[in-house]
Amino acid sequence: MSQSHSAASSNTSPSKISIIRPDDWHLHVRDGEVLKSVVPFTARQCGRAIIMPNLTPPVTTTEQAKIYQKAILAAAGEYSAFQPLMTLYLTDCTPPEEIKTAINSGIISAVKLYPAGATTNSEAGVTDINKCYPTLEMMQKLGMPLLVHGEVTHSDIDIFDREKMFIDQRLISIVNDFPELKVVFEHITTADAADFVIESSPYVAATITAHHLLMNRNDMLVGGIKPHHYCLPVLKRETHREALVKAAISGNNKFFMGTDSAPHAQHKKETTCGCAGMFTAFAAIELYAEAFDNANALDKLEQFSSLNGPLFYGLEANSDKITLQREKWTVPDSYQFGDDVVIPLRAGHTINWKLLC
Ligand code: NCD
Ligand code: ZN
């Protein structure tokens, strides 16, 4: 990574950094008209993005994923080098044969496990992981990664404990029963999850969002409830945020960037039963740069954003670079989202880093 220091700067923090172009290993872009509103934000920054399959209806087959991928490519517009890496939505009855079809197609990079009821559009998700064992067996055999939304869903489990419970009640068995299945523990939010990943085999890795590195649950609940800071897994207490920062900047190649940018129309968030998800794709790498800068670890950003992910997925890193400048800019109050608008993270507030075109 190359850095330059502004002559006026009295400290040693760089005013500009160039890093290998990042990839987003966990992204929601939705479908239909709104694709044109959101895909270019990611395509401008990232070489590739793992596209989440939680549409209605979910993307459960390779055939559906092919159609979805075409629509995303069309929406990328001028950013024609952008590669959407597709995923399949695992259900109780995904046949092992579908994994073969997915591998042979060359367009499916992973299969996503949503426990039924865990999050947005997860109704068709897995009700009993044992039902998926033949399919997981096939995934292990063919080298297809399993991406996990790691939260239990029982109504009697406190929402702040759902990730830890998932590790104890589900993930430990999955990892033990399929020791050579590649597993990405998605958008981890707790020290427990970071520790689990660190202690597991090299087949287990994790994505971390920028918002979980930058915020804790006070940012959602103190001084009034903030619907645009509500996502799943929900923000946790400060000690967990600190553990995530430590993992992200550690240089451990098991941790990589996955924004979980999850846009929803403003009226779906600002209502009596608002849905989960934060829209961060418009400034993904800038938000991560700010988090790493806050931890005096800008020199570790490139590894996290651009090297560890491709290494885990068995891909080359991107061949070009991007440049970020230390420059405060104010985030717009909203962005167009098809016929609606989406409220971005930090709307009306500033971000300290700016991606140069
Ligand atoms: C995501 C969405 O809106 O699709 N929401 C979220 O809060 N992260 C689903 C998910 O990744 O849990
Ligand atoms: Zn997600």
Average of per-residue pLDDT across 16-25: 98
Mean pLDDT across the chain, nearest whole number?
A: 96
Ligand 1, atom 6, residue with closest C-alpha:
277
* Ligand 1 shell residues, CB under 6 Å: 28, 54, 119-120, 149, 231-232, 260, 262, 276-277
Q: What ligand 1 atom has the least distance to the C-alpha of 187? A: 11
pTM of model > 0.85: yes
Q: Tell me if 94 sits within 8 A of 111, measured CB to CB.
A: yes
Secondary structure (3-state) at 186: coil
pLDDT digits (tens, 9 = 90+) for 308-327: 999 999 999 999 999 999 99
Task: Find the helix or strand (DSSP H, E) in which 219 lies.
Answer: helix 218-221
Residue recorded with tokens 């996503």? 112
pLDDT level of residue 58 (50, 70, 90 thresholds): very high
Specify the pLDDT at position 357. 76
Specify the pLDDT at position 13. 82
Q: Would you call 128 a catalytic residue per the annotation?
A: no
pLDDT top residue among 199 and 6: 199
**The residue type at 312:** F
Specify the pLDDT at position 2. 53
- Determine the distance separating the centroid of ligand 1 and the alpha carbon of 231, expressed in angstroms: 6
Catalytic residue among 31, 260, 293, 340: 260
Average of per-residue pLDDT across 91-112: 98
Average of per-residue pLDDT across 192-211: 98
pLDDT level of residue 346 (50, 70, 90 thresholds): very high
Average of per-residue pLDDT across 201-208: 99
Specify the pLDDT at position 172. 98
- Determine the distance separating the centroid of ligand 2 and the alpha carbon of 16, expressed in angstroms: 30
- Determine the distance separating the centroid of ligand 2 and the alpha carbon of 7, expressed in angstroms: 41
Integer-rounded Cα Rg, in Å, for the chain is 19
Instruction: Tell me how far apart the alpha carbons of residues 357 and 348 are, in angstroms, rounded to a whole number.
Output: 22
124 pLDDT higher than 80: yes
pLDDT digits (tens, 9 = 90+) for 232-243: 999 999 999 999
- Of 4-8, 11-15, 131-135, which has the strongest mean pLDDT? 131-135
Q: Which residues surround ligand 2, an ion (CB under 5 A)?
A: 260
Sheet holding 16-20, edge to edge: 2-4, 16-20, 321-330, 350-356
CA atoms within 13 A on the CB side of 108: 32
Specify the pLDDT at position 12. 63
7 pLDDT higher than 50: no
Specify the pLDDT at position 277. 98
Q: Can you point out the beta strands (E) in the chain? A: 2-4, 16-20, 24-27, 48-51, 83-89, 108-113, 146-148, 183-185, 204-208, 255-257, 321-330, 335-337, 340-342, 350-356
pLDDT level of residue 100 (50, 70, 90 thresholds): very high
5 pLDDT higher than 50: no
- Determine the distance separating the centroid of ligand 2 and the alpha carbon of 123, expressed in angstroms: 14
Specify the pLDDT at position 4. 52
pLDDT digits (tens, 9 = 90+) for 145-173: 999 999 999 999 999 999 999 999 999 99
